[in-house]
Copies of this chain bind each other. A is one copy, B any other.
Amino acid sequence: MAKYCFGIDVGGTTVKCGLFTVEGELLDKWEIKTRTEDGGSFILPDVAETIQNKMKEREIEDIQVKGVGVGVPGPVNSNGEIPCAVNLNWGSKNIEIELSMLTGFAVKAGNDANVAALGEMWKGGGEGKRNLIMATLGTGVGGGIIVNGKMVVGAHGAGGEIGHAVVNVEETMHCNCGNAGCLEQYASATGIARMAKMELEEYGKYTVLRKEEHISAKSVIDAYKSGDDLAAQIMERFAKYLGSALAGFSCVVDPDIIVIGGGVSKAGDVLTEVIGKYYRQYAFSACKDTPIVLARLGNDAGIYGAAKMILDEA
């Protein structure tokens, strides 16, 4: 009888690993380095090795392992195939088949942002819910959509890529993706800093931000909390784009809950309050009361979601 499973979250610099019971208790977590050299060819063998080492250390037998869930930074389709993963130097491969051959275990793979959303649904900010939108506000804006307890992977593994939804058709500056007017240009940490730098140039009044040598999302949010008018103006603009976009996504999937994660979410409740103000302004009547909450699992969301993926497999 299977008693354990592994949840693996492959990032560009480290691989986060978790050993879970099949009931969902995290027994152990650790990290290994992500070796991206040689086309990332060491990554999956390193994962297989660290799993085997952990099993030896804890005297776990093969038969006791349900399988391995793995999240990776790239568009994984429902068969575990990925066309490329830039941060890992990977070209096209089937992660499930490769890692399954290396470990001998069943493997289920998914996009890291989608997997993190599944983790937050299972044991985090969306615990107990079955339909969820997660927005991860970091360097970029990632996301994951859960419908009826399952990740929305989509036709090209691009389900939940909400950072690249257009929110401003008048925008002339380009997003990293090549389009213009993407949500990511306003709602990421980079976007908040960019808006602050632009608005500071035009702003004639006193602001604490003028003293900052390097304006970051954190400095804007700190200034906002201290009552700075320019910072408030920037955060209102951020929240108007993000809140109205989330309201639009709610018209698509009508979630039970919206979870906000990523580095920007460290701002705390002031963040969900200002996003919620605009969300409720623009949300369709049936969805106006949908709760907007902070993510709870931080960097562990990926290993939790990865474990949940393999536990959900028949």
**Interface residues, chain A, with chain B CB atoms under 8 Å away:** 75, 131, 145, 147-148, 150, 152-167, 169, 177-179, 181, 240-241, 244-245, 247-256, 281-287, 290
The answer to whether residues A252 and B286 also contact, given A131-B154, A169-B240, A244-B169 and a CB cut-off of 8 A, is no
Pick from B75, B131, B167, B252: contact of A252, CB under 8 Å: B252
28 A/B residue pairs, CB under 8 Å, sorted by A: A75-B286, A131-B154, A131-B155, A145-B253, A152-B252, A152-B254, A155-B255, A155-B256, A156-B254, A157-B254, A158-B254, A158-B284, A158-B287, A159-B252, A159-B254, A162-B251, A162-B252, A164-B251, A164-B284, A167-B248, A169-B240, A179-B281, A179-B283, A181-B244, A181-B282, A248-B248, A249-B252, A252-B253
Residue in B165, B240, B282 whose beta carbon sits within 8 Å of that of A247 in the complex: B165
Complex: A167 Cα to B168 Cα, angstroms: 8
Chain B residues contacting A286 (CB-CB under 8 Å) are 75, 156-158, 161
Q: Which of B157, B167, B251 contacts A161 (CB 8 A)?
A: B251
A35 shortest CB reach to chain B, Å: 27
Smallest CB gap from A133: residue in B: B252
B248 near A165 with CB under 8 A, answer yes
Beyond the given pairs A164-B284, A179-B283, A245-B248, 4 more chain A to chain B contacts, judged by CB atoms under 8 angstroms and listed by A's residue number, are A145-B252, A155-B255, A161-B254, A165-B247
Q: How far is the CB of A282 from chain B (nearest CB, A)?
A: 4
Q: Which of A158, A255, A281 has the most CB of B within 10 A?
A: A158
Q: Is the CB of B284 within 8 A of A161?
A: yes
Nearest B residue to A77 via CB reads B254
Contact, CB under 8 Å: B254 / A253: no
Given A153-B254, A252-B162, A253-B145: A282 and B244 within 8 A (CB)?
no
Query: When the two chains form the complex, which single residue of B152, B158, B166, B177 contacts A147, counting CB atoms closer than 8 Å?
Result: B152
Query: Once bound together, how far apart are the Cα atoms of A164 and B249, in whole Å?
Result: 10
A299 to B143, CA, bound (A): 36
Closest 5 CB pairs of A and B: A154-B254, A165-B248, A158-B286, A158-B254, A156-B286
Separation of A167 and B170 alpha carbons in the complex (Å): 12
Q: In whole Å, how far is A32's beta carbon from the nearest beta carbon of chain B?
A: 29
A166 contacts B244, CB within 8 Å? yes
CB-defined contacts of A165 to chain B, threshold 8 Å: 247-249, 251-252
**Residues in B whose Cβ lies below 8 Å from that of A255:** 154-155
